[in-house]
Structure 1
Amino acid sequence: MHLNRSMSALSVLFVLASGAARAETIRVAIGTQDTTVNCATGGVLIRELKLLEKYLPHDGKYKDVNYQIEWKNFTSGAPLTSEMVAGKLDIGSMADFPGALNGATFQKAGRKSVFINVLSGSTIGSGNGIVVPRTSPVQSLADLKGKTISVPFASTAHGLLLRAVKAQGWDPEKDITIVTQAPEIAGPALQANKIDAHADFVPFAELFPYRGYARKIYDGSQANAATFHGTLADAEYARKYPEIVVAFERAAIEADRLFAAEPEKYSELVARNTGIDAEVIYLFHGPQGLQTRDLSWKPEYRQALKTAIETLRLLKRVDSDLDVNAFIDDRYVRTAFQQASLNYEAQLKNYAKQPFAEKAAKDARTGKTIEDTQRLAQIWVQGEARVRNYASPESAFLDLSGLEESGKKIRVIYGTDRSNGLKLFASDGWYVVNGKEINAFLLKETAETWIKQHGGKIVEYAAARAAV
């Protein structure tokens, strides 16, 4: 009797051990760009909040599967692509230009990658920009003829720079000198006045001015060409494990929802994990942000990818034809939208900026609902969980004086460019004072154009504050 019980127990252990031996281990290796904050909802938030684990399948062919989730952070898309092609990564996020290189590199290796979603971008091109040292006399791109401009080569900012130079009617081989420089090198170079200007991608054209050693003199929106960051997958991996790719999409949708609900909280979380200031992250990801989180493949983003491929071919960085329609595969994001009870077709048609977390924002000084965001201003007070909203610069400046007099510490003040609706750091802006109305502008030349049409006087930040 005792022997039979012992044999039965051994049989159970044998069966369990055999099952464990048969359990499949599936790797999910993801490359991120943490400091490129547009990738936050496809990287750092998913990783830190363990959102992928929440959506990975555990039924059907995935029953009893063990998932080996691996994360690796990169500062740019090129090394991330190298590891994807080498089979060390299955999924990775990057911008349109490095994404085009990713597809071309896979193709050259006799393999294929697919662009599965957008994460964040701008259909008019904001996010990329050109900056100069803070003390430089340069006020516009026109002042840079004959100068040296650095840029991370083959990046989306490189594409912007070439378009901007072409718009000036310049020859990029003769009228300016373009040199390669990564953002981590460009920052110290700007501080030391060792470079005339620097073109860069998200978030550096805003980060360098925020940290006080650069001024933005050209915004990507002036080129009016869409730009975005998104996610790619190894096509063979996606074919073999489509449910895992959809799970990643579900995690990205969840990260987007969380950011929309509490942008200050998650700007702080991203800041802790990237070293990028929360105030800069909120500039992009907060309501009415500089760029818009959007997982859908809008026509403008498809065109941006096509433009990237054509530009890289002109730069002789790729020599193959990459079919954009075959490269983009929106099946996974469409399935994820359906599973999340979201309408993908409606999102394709939605061009609105990031909305306020609440149904309607109220002016923190007057308590009135903000009906029009064209002159929106915001103040982030140290120690307050929510950024304060104001209907106009005048209202914000009036409240600012009271806040400072009461001993409150101000983290940052945001304004809105009256000409294009883009959010900006108020202290870096130019202002047109016309009677009791004050309008903010990122660039001096734009403010001057406004005056020709509407009148008023152009002033800097301190004078604009004094005007109220």
Structure 2
Amino acid sequence: MSRTITTRTAVAISAVVLLLPLSACGGDAEAGSGSTVTVTVGYQSRTINTVTAGTLLRSLGSFEKQLNALHDGVHYKVDWQDYATGAPITAQMTAGKIDIGSMGDFPLLINAARGKQLNSPTRLVSVTGYNLRGGLNTIVTAPGSKLASLKDVKGKKVSTSVGSAADGTLVRALQRAGIDPDSGIEKLNQQPSVGASALTAGSTDALSQFVAWPGLLAYQGKAKAIYDGARLNLPTFHGVTAREDFAKQRPAVLEAFLKAQAEATDYLNDHPVDAAEKVAKATGLPAEVVYLYNGAHGIATFDPAIKPQLVSALKQDVSVLKSAKLTGDVDVDSFVDDQYVKKALGPKAYAERLATKPAPAASEAWPRGASKTVTFNSPSQLLHYVAGHGDALRAAYVPDTTTGTLWFADKAVWVADGDKLLPFVAPDTAQAYVAGHGGARVVPYADALERAS
């Protein structure tokens, strides 16, 4: 929809949708041998940090294969339902119409709260993609905008999706900048696609969104970053939620899903370029944008294990939703339930996954026609490579010097510090570095390339 919706109106609409009468679950728990059971999975194809529980998983056919391997005399059918955000998935889950869903951390909390409120409890059963610093969310503005930092948005129109992780990033970032999130800006509650159009049309001054919107708009030349969510240094993630009654009635089916998710995760980690191409084909997103988030050194790390850091972050998120009057208290400990993924992977493998850490940030170039990217030890080395290859490259990526958030090399803010060439996602992060390093200065990308060559 094109018109702006206020927060209060959006919440009221959500409440009405969520209070729809409950109906039978997607799969018939009483089904016997020879019967057909439909398992309904709600996912967000273009929210690409959920691909191991949605887009990529679906394209690989892993879930269907795992279901066929159950050999329990039941014929299983998977109904994949694609949504733009987590809210409608929650509405359908609490109405008993979706069995398994995937969404971001803030929507997960709303999912937990609504499930309890409507006596249709849900459980967080695994994680898809995460970033321990918060780099999955970014605030952008138009390319020609004079806005250069978060402080510049005071009194301006900012589009976001209220109740989303991107909204949480906006609220926290404004608070740290000394701006009241309620009165300091004019917040527009919009779907990501609507907000993106509003930014392009000039009807909003900035956009705070989750993957893959900021990267997509930057790649298309329709936006520039003014705030890297990783500056908050608070984990953000996406995860899988299941209805409690479904999990108890069909644990083998849920475990089959989680085994399939683990397979999709391993495939993404082992074949990042091919996985990006598959997701791009299924979603219509440019593969270069998918790789920015899901690549070998991408913004997101994929692992189904529910890490303690993520649970801790989830508990911190509750206060943000409470202040926005989107939820009351949420019992995070009772919502998190890793028994199914632990059984699906095996205790030893699960413990190993819990102990894994994200890959170190690195610069990468993606040559045209190549099935692998080229990795470099420094951004300067990457720039030297780019200067010599030019149009032969599909994309070049560099990690922010301060936060490690990957960004497109030609969209980054570059700083020359002696012989070093240092990239940053946003201008204020670059300026903060310059202020603390005598002689360092911001240089145009073209100058950075010339220096490197």
2:433 alignment partner in structure 1: 450
Residues 24-423 of structure 1 mapped to structure 2, 5 A cutoff: 24-56=35-67, 58=69, 63-319=72-328, 321-338=329-346, 343-353=349-359, 376-404=362-390, 408-423=391-406
Cα distance change on mapping 1:314 and 1:435 into 2, 3 Å: closer
Aligned length: 421
Deviations 1:347-403 (A, max 9, x none): 2232232xxxxxxxxxxxxxxxxxxx66x3222122121112222233222222332
- 2: CA distance between counterparts of 1:435 and 1:96? 41
Residues 57, 247 of structure 1: 8 Å contact kept: no
- 1: CA distance between counterparts of 2:304 and 2:397? 26
Residues 127, 205 of structure 1: 8 Å contact kept: no
Identity of aligned residues (%): 34
Residues 33, 74 of structure 2: 8 Å contact kept: no
SS in 1 for 2:180: coil
Deviation of residue 229 (structure 1)? 0.4
Amino acid at match of 1:422: T
Deviation of residue 132 (structure 1)? 0.6
- 2: CA distance between counterparts of 1:434 and 1:96? 38
Residues 238, 245 of structure 1: 8 Å contact kept: yes
Deviation of residue 58 (structure 1)? 4.9
> What TM-score do the two structures reach when normalised by structure 1?
0.86
Cα distance change on mapping 1:258 and 1:334 into 2, 3 Å: same
Residues 231, 403 of structure 2: 8 Å contact kept: no
Amino acid at match of 1:162: V
- 1: CA distance between counterparts of 2:282 and 2:145? 32
Deviation of residue 79 (structure 1)? 0.8
- Which moves more between the two structures, 381-390 or 261-270? 381-390
> What TM-score do the two structures reach when normalised by structure 2?
0.89
- 2: CA distance between counterparts of 1:42 and 1:445? 35
- 2: CA distance between counterparts of 1:98 and 1:313? 13
- 2: CA distance between counterparts of 1:21 and 1:164? 53
Residues 256, 293 of structure 1: 8 Å contact kept: yes
- 2: CA distance between counterparts of 1:440 and 1:22? 60
Deviation of residue 309 (structure 1)? 2.9
- 2: CA distance between counterparts of 1:265 and 1:384? 10
Residues 57, 243 of structure 1: 8 Å contact kept: no
Deviations 1:285-338 (A, max 9, x none): 11221121121222221123223333222211224x321111111001111221
SS in 2 for 1:89: coil
- 1: CA distance between counterparts of 2:151 and 2:97? 45
Residues 210, 280 of structure 1: 8 Å contact kept: yes
- 1: CA distance between counterparts of 2:321 and 2:404? 31
Deviation of residue 169 (structure 1)? 2.1
Deviations 1:92-113 (A, max 9, x none): 0001111111111111111211
Residues 30, 70 of structure 1: 8 Å contact kept: yes
State yes or no: 1:465 paired with 2:449.
Answer: yes
- 1: CA distance between counterparts of 2:396 and 2:416? 18
Deviation of residue 49 (structure 1)? 1.2
1:360 alignment partner in structure 2: none
SS in 2 for 1:467: helix
**Deviating runs (4+, > 4 A) in structure 1?**
none
- 2: CA distance between counterparts of 1:128 and 1:416? 15
Deviation of residue 45 (structure 1)? 1.5
The two structures, once aligned, show a CA RMSD in angstroms of: 1.9
Larger radius of gyration: 1
Amino acid at match of 2:366: W
- Which moves more between the two structures, 381-390 or 233-242? 381-390
Amino acid at match of 2:304: L
- 2: CA distance between counterparts of 1:439 and 1:58? 51
